[in-house]
């Protein structure tokens, strides 16, 4: 059946009605634009009148009379002043225009998209934070999420950056597995690709989740402003430590939060163990420690991997030896054990006699051993003692003798580390990608942050003794002879390397804050400026003779 056309009056009428509406809307918009100043002033006058009425109502009755008298006196003064009424009218109109201006509405709560995200997160937490016999559950399907989330913040993309969660008291927040489930859920629902920090307050039953920014990877090797006996392992979050140091980050100087490792006879963590995957930056960490140790001490380097990563240290002032072969490593470590015993004997004699310590044992001695597992395997194949056995004396008595041991190895060689190494290396560092179980096995505690999406070289976690687990980024300290490394980073390493005997070049001073007092600046210059020190106690020649004598039997 054919469709009948609409009557002419209806088809033409709808078109005219639509056109009339458009004309009326256009006229209203034009009138609003023309009358906008008047509308603003009228709105301001209404707000001023309402504010005046509120103040008048709030005024006690005994004070209304004086206020009326004062207002009348002001009006009389304005009326008598030339051009007073006109100026008063202009002032009132200006105040009304300012009061009635359109202001950007202040955001007092989440928008629709943010509310949807928070409600979805609340519903996901219900199975973990609720039980069937709870008479007034804080978490329930279809419940009020505003009671559970006391604070929240979003970034410009609408993603959570901070969240305060209140959970019921019966939740087992003392169990690591229960906390891990909640952290994994929040990490997944809040968005992957970012690093989250979780702070549990068991007393108040609160959890604070914060999104962490990436640690800077552009800080290169340099002279750090530290006291004697302090070594900067790397840098962490500003709110994780109570101290900052000025560092050069590219062409600018910024204040960074360092992870400071203290050594010496009063240190509770006199020795360090670093573990990581291949290419994670453990060698970079040892090289950075060596550059800082050479400012005030002597260094022995044993490179178990034999890749020549420490070739730039050969022959430098303060570097006693750089060994990569099994025979040289065993001879060097045996000499280090004898030197530790000698220092202990002389220190004991000086203390018993009431004399100061001899100068030849005051200078710190650093033993840096990279990949001891490889040397142990070679020694076992050759029927020779494990190099770790020669470290027992320096590890056990090194703190009293001024001897510090730093070891670095990979995860697959952890089982080869002896009990003495595990017991006396209380300062621990884990670098590179690692599972929470691996991190806990090395540091003795699990980190309170999620793994980063990208793990650059030198990125990991550090724990000094029984302290908290801190995020860590080791300063960029590449081999200065590695052509694949950044030219600026290689030059930074060359600038802080001690000179070889006969070489002459200026030494860069450490950065200092611009607002530091003169006395502090002088102290920093004294502590950080490199002064070549002749090694009199154990020069390289004597070490070579000792190794030759040991090799001869």
Strands 149-154 and 160-166: antiparallel
Picking from 286, 270, 232, 265, the residue whose alpha carbon sits closest to that of residue 407 is 286
**Residue 280 marked in a binding site:** yes
Residues sharing a CB contact under 8 Å with residue 12, sequence separation 6 or more, in sequence order: none
CB contact burial 408-426 (16+ within 10 A = b; e otherwise): bbbbebeebbeebbeebbb
The SS3 assignment for 42 reads helix
Complete DSSP assignment for 281-295: SHHHHHHHHHHHHTT
3-class SS letters over 523-541: HHHHHHCCCCCCCCCCCHH
DSSP code at position 269: -
3-state secondary structure 439-508: HHHHHCCCCCECCCCCCCCCEEEEEECCCCCEEEECCECCCCCCCCCCHHHHHHHHHHCCCCCCCCCCCC
Distance CA 161, CA 195 (A): 10
Q: Give the DSSP letter of residue 83.
A: T
The CA R_g of the chain, rounded to the nearest whole Å, is 36
Count Cβ atoms below 10 Å from residue 475 Cβ, excluding itself: 29
> Annotated binding residue at 327?
no
483-495 CB burial, b ≥16 within 10 A, e <16? eeeeeebbebbeb
Determine contact, residues 236/215, Cβ cutoff 8 Å: yes
Secondary structure (H, E, C), 381-408: HCCCCCHHHHHHHHHHHHHHHCEEEEEE
CB atoms within 10 A of CB 440: 16
CA dist., res. 141 & res. 419, Å (int): 52
Rounded to whole angstroms, the Cα distance separating 311 from 341 reads 29
Contact 390, 336 (CB under 8 A): yes
Q: In the chain, what is the straight-line distance between the N-terminal and C-terminal CA atoms, in Å? A: 118
For 173, the token pair is 């927040």
- HSE of 36, CA atoms in CB hemisphere, 13 A: 7
Q: Is 432 annotated as a binding residue?
A: no
d(CA 25, CA 19): 10
Q: Is 250 annotated as a binding residue?
A: no
| Residue 276 annotated as lining a ligand binding site | yes
Structure tokens given for 282: 């453990």
- Which of 214, 179, 216, 178 has the alpha carbon at shortest distance from 196? 214
Instruction: Please indicate if the annotation marks 277 as binding a ligand.
Output: yes
Residues making up the annotated binding site for ATP are: 276-283
Annotation: binding site? 276-283
């Amino acid at each position: 059946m054919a469709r009948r056309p609409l009557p002419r009056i209806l088809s033409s009428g709808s078109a005219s009605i639509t056109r009339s509406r458009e004309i009326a809307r256009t006229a209203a918009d034009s009138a609003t634009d023309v009358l906008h100043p008047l509308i603003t002033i009228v709105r301001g006058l209404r707000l001023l009148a309402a504010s005046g009425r509120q103040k008048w109502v709030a005024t006690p009755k005994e004070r209304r009379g004086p206020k009326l008298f004062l207002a009348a006196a002001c009006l009389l003064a304005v009326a008598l002043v030339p051009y007073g009424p006109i100026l008063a009218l202009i002032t009132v109109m200006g105040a009304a225009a300012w009061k009635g201006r359109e202001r950007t509405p202040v955001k007092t709560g989440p928008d629709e998209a943010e509310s949807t995200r928070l409600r979805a997160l609340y519903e996901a937490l219900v199975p973990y934070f609720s039980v069937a016999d709870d008479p007034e559950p804080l978490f329930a399907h279809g419940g009020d999420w505003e009671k559970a989330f006391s604070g929240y913040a979003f970034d410009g993309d609408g993603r959570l950056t901070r969240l305060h969660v209140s959970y019921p008291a019966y939740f087992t927040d003392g169990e690591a597995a229960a906390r891990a489930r909640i952290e994994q859920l929040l990490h997944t629902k809040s968005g992957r690709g970012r690093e989250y920090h979780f702070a549990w307050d068991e007393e108040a039953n609160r959890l604070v989740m914060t999104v962490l920014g990436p640690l800077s990877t552009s800080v290169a090797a340099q002279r750090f402003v530290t006291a004697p006996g302090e070594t900067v392992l790397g840098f962490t979050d500003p709110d994780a430590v109570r101290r900052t140091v000025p560092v050069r980050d590219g062409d600018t100087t910024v204040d960074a939060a360092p992870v400071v490792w203290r050594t010496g006879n009063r240190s509770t963590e006199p020795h360090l163990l670093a573990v990581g995957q291949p290419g994670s930056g453990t060698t970079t960490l040892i090289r950075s420690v060596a550059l800082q140790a050479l400012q005030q001490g002597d260094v022995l380097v044993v490179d178990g991997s034999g890749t020549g990563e420490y070739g730039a240290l050969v022959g430098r002032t303060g570097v006693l030896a750089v060994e990569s072969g099994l025979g040289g490593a065993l001879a060097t470590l045996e000499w280090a054990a004898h030197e530790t015993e000698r220092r202990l004997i002389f220190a004991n004699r000086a203390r018993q006699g009431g004399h100061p310590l001899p100068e030849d044992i005051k200078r710190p001695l650093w033993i840096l051993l990279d990949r001891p597992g490889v040397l142990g395997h070679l020694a076992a194949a050759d029927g020779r003692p494990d190099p770790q056995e020669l470290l027992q004396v320096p590890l056990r008595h090194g703190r009293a003798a001024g001897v510090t041991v730093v070891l670095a190895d990979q995860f697959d060689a952890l089982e080869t580390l002896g009990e003495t190494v595990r017991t006396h290396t209380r300062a621990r560092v884990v670098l590179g990608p690692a599972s929470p179980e691996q991190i806990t096995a090395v540091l003795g505690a699990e980190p309170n942050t999620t793994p980063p999406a990208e793990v650059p070289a030198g990125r990991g976690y550090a724990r000094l003794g029984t302290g908290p687990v801190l995020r860590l980024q080791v300063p960029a300290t590449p081999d200065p002879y590695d052509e694949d490394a950044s030219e600026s980073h290689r030059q930074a390493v060359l600038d802080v390397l001690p000179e070889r005997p006969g070489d002459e070049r200026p030494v860069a001073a450490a950065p200092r804050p611009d607002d530091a007092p003169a006395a502090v600046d002088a102290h920093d210059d004294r502590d950080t400026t490199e002064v070549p020190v002749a090694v009199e106690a154990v020069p390289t020649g004597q070490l070579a003779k000792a190794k030759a004598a040991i090799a001869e039997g």
